[in-house]
Amino acid sequence: MVSVKEVDPQKLIENLKEELKKFPELEPPRWVMFAKSSHASERPPEQKDFWYIRAAAIMRRLYLDGPLGVSRLRKYFRRRKRRGRRPAKTYKASGNIIRKILQKLEKAGLVQTVKGGRILTPKGRSLIDKICEKLK
């Protein structure tokens, strides 16, 4: 069996994104094209499928480090903000986007809530394992 650590993360997220598009429960909300992904961002994301890319990255992170909560995931997706002459500073990612993605992943049956945060269900793990096998 191929581990997630042995597969290129970018290829894994790209393929997982395409699989997640098949789930009707993961339909992005209309406001997502206007929302910034972090306080450090100057503009909203330019990718049309940003929602699915972030959902795939969250699933990969849950596979590797789960159980995780929204706060830990905000730290994982943090960004540096350029502040002119002052030194750059890091800011956490948007908690609302991460929270809504986790809620929709729960609705799809890929994630479940436990005491320490959220973990992948067997259905979610098998989806990622299947993609890893295909990539290797």
DSSP annotation string for 96-108: HHHHHHHHHHHHH
Residue 16 has what pLDDT? 92
Question: Token pair 């290129």 is at which residue?
Answer: 8
pLDDT in tens, 58-99: 999 999 987 999 999 999 988 888 888 999 998 888 888 999
Indicate the helix (H) or strand (E) that contains 65.
helix 50-65
Domain residue ranges in the chain: 4-135
Res. 36: pLDDT tops 90: no
Can you state the angle between helices 50-65 and 122-135, rounded to 10 degrees?
Answer: 100
Tell whether the model's pLDDT for residue 45 goes beyond 90.
no
The single-letter code of the amino acid at 131 is I
pTM above 0.75, yes or no: yes
pLDDT tens digits, residue range 88-135? Answer: 998 888 888 999 999 999 999 999 999 888 999 999 999 999 999 888
Strand, helix or coil at 27? coil
The dotted CATH code for 4-135 is: 1.10.10.10
